[in-house]
Amino acid sequence: MAQENKQQRPAGKPRTGEDPAPAVGALPRITTKEIKLGQVDQPVVQEAPMSFELPLNTAMSANVAAADITDIESRTGQVHTNEDGVTLVPTRANPVARSLLAKMWVSTTPPTQALNIVDRLQGTPYANPKVNTEQDASARRTMEFALDLGETLIRYGAGALEVETSVIAVTAALGLSHLDVDITNQSLHLNYSPPDAESYSILRVVRSSTSNYAGLVLVHRLVSDIIAGGVSRSESAKRLKKITRQPKPFPRWVVSCGNAVFAAAFVLFIGGSWLGALVAMASASIVSQVGRYGARWRVPEFFTIAASSFVVTGIALVSYQLKAPIDPALVVSGGILLLLPSSRFVSALQDAINGFPVTAVGRLFSAGLIYTAIVAGISAALVISSVLGGEVVDVHQIDKVEYPAWLLIILVAVAIIAGSVTEQTSVKLLLPTAAIAVLGYLVQLLCDSIGLGPRAIPAVVATVIGFAARFAADKLRSPQLVMAAPAVMFLLPGLMIFRAMYGIVFEVEDMSRGLVEMFNAFAIMLSIAGGVVFGDTLCRPLTSRARRERKSIRRR
């Protein structure tokens, strides 16, 4: 009977009071991990977020609300206003706006990420070298060659940035990655630590220096050829050895004549007489011999420079006591000008600006010692002259000879060529360096005509010279320092230094005046060095290598 009733009851209609029979697949499957014994899940209540908690593109205010997802404008990510005047912000961000915000706020290189060492070459003459991706099999030989290259650059007077970029470019072009370079004053340290090979650490200390701008140009061209990918390591080592063994372009007697010609031309340039120029020429010739024998006897540079400035001042004072128609202040100014460490000041300022503070301090201290040695030699000669009863020189009333402008331009060119010869520069760079100096002198005349102050003019002229030297150096494949350092020599305050020393020694009651003038002379030298570095920085975007880099970026 029960079976009959069961058959008569239609399927799918449960009896009153009974639960419906579950259909297959109607209930969700629950795993054992989802069963929480003794726990009852509470419904999660989501509070409406505050306006400051919402993203930038979904923040709501009194007259701003979230757009309905069914609205076509909200699906396209556009902000619009409905019929009630309420601004509707889409729930999905506009992809274009999101991309722009990502570019504005997200940095491509996090500040804590290590920079690639090859990126250090950006903005230098060695930017974008052809990096050899194949690892060098003999890393030790490549490091030794890089050390020899860096040592040669330091000995020839290159700045720390020039040395660092040259070593980085050469090692990258020769297939040596995972290399760190550290330059501290006279030491060059290379550390090679690959992830899956033996590490090397080599240190080289440079204990000597020489004036060889021609060799510096040859090393610069060697580095340019290496990064171009056309020179192997063995051939590069042979070329570097040939450069170091190559004699300087000018013999010693030519350098001595260049020193004398520079002193005579500068004395005429600042208003001295022709007899004063001859006296300056004689004293400069003697100074060349003092420097030669000082180097042969290994006398410290401080005492050699002090003796040289003593000789220059002594000869000028003796000539004045003999009633020669000269002004000793002008003669001394022309004689000590080549002794001033102008290139060291430029290199020190360049190192300080480019991130080498220790090297900059060392070079500034070295240049300051040379400056002090010049002052000591001048003061010693003045004191001895006073003790022997010499006639007092009136340094504030100087009778200058007025020469025509065309003659002054010729004197600037001759003086700069002679000064470049003393620095052993390349013969092909003599005329371009003189042309840059003449351009600087014309700018000086222009600044005088518009009424710039005596302290602002040297900085402006040095900036123009630094700019022109960088542009010409890029065309002639040479370092900027080789052309800029000799070209700014006519700006050096030699006369101001002599006036300051004379006031300190003889005007004891008003010594502050001499100290202030000495500080002003030092400040002018620093402003000249800073102007050269600033002009170099301004001209970097106009160099040929920088233009090629921009063209390659546009092609990408």
Question: What are 10's two structure tokens?
Answer: 């239609």
What total number of domains does the chain contain? 2
The pLDDT value given to residue 375:
85
Are 241 and 269 members of one domain? no
Calpha distance 454→248 (Å, rounded): 38
Residue 49 located in a structural domain: no
Residue 370 located in a structural domain: yes
Instruction: pLDDT tens for the chain, 556 residues: list them.
Output: 444 444 445 554 555 555 555 554 445 555 554 544 444 455 555 554 444 444 444 444 444 444 454 554 444 555 566 666 666 555 555 666 666 656 655 555 555 444 566 666 766 777 667 666 665 557 888 999 999 999 999 999 898 989 999 999 998 888 887 889 999 888 999 998 888 778 889 999 998 888 899 999 999 999 999 988 778 889 999 999 999 999 999 999 999 999 999 999 999 999 999 999 999 999 999 999 999 999 889 899 999 999 999 999 999 999 998 888 888 988 998 888 888 888 888 888 888 888 899 999 999 899 889 988 998 998 899 889 989 988 877 777 778 889 999 999 999 999 999 999 999 999 999 999 999 999 999 999 999 999 888 889 999 999 999 999 999 999 999 999 999 999 999 998 888 888 887 877 776 666 788 888 888 888 888 899 899 999 998 998 887 555 554 444 444 4
Residue 316 located in a structural domain: yes
CA distances from 159 to 100, 263, 344 (A): 41, 27, 9
**Per-residue DSSP letter, 55:** -
Are 327 and 443 members of one domain? yes
Are 358 and 461 members of one domain? yes
| 368, containing H or E segment | helix 357-387
Are 378 and 447 members of one domain? yes
| Host domain of residue 141 | 118-245
Residue 403 located in a structural domain: yes
Pick the closest to residue 90 from 63, 57, 119 (CA basis). 57
Are 219 and 279 members of one domain? no
Q: What is the gyration radius of the CA atoms in the chain, in angstroms?
A: 38
Note the residue count of the chain: 556
Cα 166 to its chain centre, rounded Å, is 13
Calpha distance 227→214 (Å, rounded): 21
CA distances from 222 to 72, 167, 232, 417 (A): 65, 12, 11, 25
Last-in-domain residue among 217, 245, 273: 245
